[in-house]
Structure 1
Amino acid sequence: MSRIRVVPIFVTALLMLALLIGGWQAYQHYNLLNPLKRSLQSVAGVEQVDITTGSPDVVVVQLGPFQALKEGDLQMTYDAISDEIEQKLGTNVSVRLGDAHEGPLTQIFESVFELYIQQGIAKEDYTQMASEVARLAKSYHLAYRLTMDNNDIYLQLQKGPYYLYRVIPYARAGGAAS
C-alpha cells in the first residue's frame, strides 16, 4: 500500500489557491476596475474615482463645481455615473459623491435644508419642499438647484468656491422603498 504524502499535497493546493486568487485579482483590476475608472472619468464633472471592492462594492466619485457637471446638473451627471457602474459592476454597488463642502455648506445643509427635505418627503409635499429650499437658498445667498426623479432628490448648493451635492432617496407612494 502506498503512502500518501500530505505535505506536498498541502503545498500544491496552497500554491494553486494563491494562483487562482492572484488571477482573479488581476482580472478584476485590469478588465473591470480600470476600464470603469476610465469611463467614469470621461463623464462631465467627474474629477477623481476610487473603487473599493467588497460586499457591496463602493465607488467614490469626486465631482467638480456646478459648471463642470453635465449641463450643470447633478441629476444628469449622477445618472451617467450610475449607468456606467451598473453596466460594469451590476446593481450591488454603493455610490458616494465627493464635493468641496469644507466650508459652511455641510452645517447649513444638516441644520436647515435636510429638515425641510425630510419633511417634504414625509408629507409627500414636494412643491412646498421646493419652495422652502428656494427660500432658504436665497436667505443664505447660495446658488442652488433641486431636481427629482422617480427614486431620488438631487440637491446642489454652492457658495463661493464651496459646493455640496446630495442625492437623497425617498419612499414612493404605497410604501415601496426606492
Structure 2
Amino acid sequence: MSRVRLVPIVLIAVLVLAVLFGGWQAYEHFNMVTPLKRDLQQVEGVQMVNVSSGNPEIIDVQLGPFSKLKNGDLQQTYNDLENQISAKLGADVTPHLLDNRNKVLTQAMESFNPALLQGIDKSNYTTMIAQVTNEAKKQGIQCRITMDRQYIYIQLAKGKYYLYTVMPYTTRQGGAAS
C-alpha cells in the first residue's frame, strides 16, 4: 500500500482554491463591475461611479448640479441608476448618492426633516411639499421635491452647492394584530 503524502495534497488544494478565487474575482471585475460602472457613467448627471464588490454591493454615485441631471430632475436620474443596477445586480442593491453639500444645505435639510416626517406619517404630501418649499425659499435655497410610489426625492441648491436626498417612505400597511 502506498502512503498518501499530506503536504502535496494540501499544497494542491490551496493552489486550486487560489485559482478558483482569482478566476471569480476576474469574472466579477470584467463581467459585472466594469460594465456596470460604464453603464452608470452613461446616465445623465453622473460625474463619477465607484463600485465596491462584496456583500452587499456598495455603489457610490457622484452626481452633478441640477442642470446636469436628466431634465434637472433627481427622480428621473435616480430611476435610471436603479434600472441599470437592477439589470446587472438585482433589485436589492441601491446607489449611494454623493453630492456637493455644504453646512448651510445640511442644516437646512435637518430643519426640514420634521415637516417631511410629519407629512409622511400623516400622508399629507402636498402640505409637506409646500412647507418645505416655502421654508427653503425663505432661506434663499432652490428646492425641488418629487415623489413616486417608493421614495421622496429632495433637491436643494444654493450657489455652487447642492444636496440630494432620496427618502423611502411607507404607507400604513400591515402591522401587528391582536
Q: Normalising by structure 2, what TM-score?
A: 0.95
Partner amino acid for 1:46? V
Q: Distance in 2 between matches of 1:172 and 1:53?
A: 33
- Check if 1:52 corresponds to 2:45: no
* C-alpha displacement of 1:56: 1.3
1:158 aligned partner: 157
Aligned to 1:6: 6
Q: What residue identity is the alignment partner of 1:164?
A: L
**Corresponding residue number in structure 2 for 1:43:** 43
Question: Which structure 2 residue ranges, 5 or more long, are not aligned?
Answer: none
Contact 2:33 2:53 in 1 (8 A): no
**TM alignment of 1:116-131, pairs within 5 A:** 116-131=115-130
The answer on whether the counterparts of 2:82 and 2:94 sit within 8 Å (CA) in structure 1 is no
Cα distance between partner residues in 1 of 2:123 and 2:152: 12
1: CA distance, partners of 2:61 / 2:83 = 14
Give 3-state SS (helix, strand or coil) of 1:55's partner.
coil
The whole-number CA distance in structure 2 between the counterparts of 1:159 and 1:75 is 19
Q: Percent identity?
A: 49
Q: Does 2:57 correspond to 1:75?
A: no
- Partner Cα separation in structure 1 for residue 41 and residue 161 of structure 2: 21
Q: CA separation in 2, counterparts of 1:174 and 1:74? A: 27
Write out per-residue CA displacement over residues 96-149 of structure 1, whole angstroms, 9 at most, x where no aligned residue. Answer: 100000241012111x11111111111111111011011111111111110000
Gaps of 5+ in 1: none
CA contact (8 A) 2:40 2:49 kept: yes
Q: Which amino acid is the alignment partner of residue 140 of structure 2?
A: H
Q: Which moved more, 1:51-60 or 1:159-168?
A: 51-60
Answer yes or no: is the 8 Å Cα contact 1:75–1:147 preserved in 2: yes
The answer for the alignment partner of 2:104 in structure 1 is 104
Q: How far off is 1:175 after superposition?
A: 4.1
How many residues were matched structurally?
175
Distance 1:60 1:46 in 2: 10
* Contact preservation (8 Å) 1:120, 1:129: yes
TM-score by length of 1: 0.95
Q: CA deviation at 1:54?
A: 2.1
CA shift for structure 1 position 92:
2.5
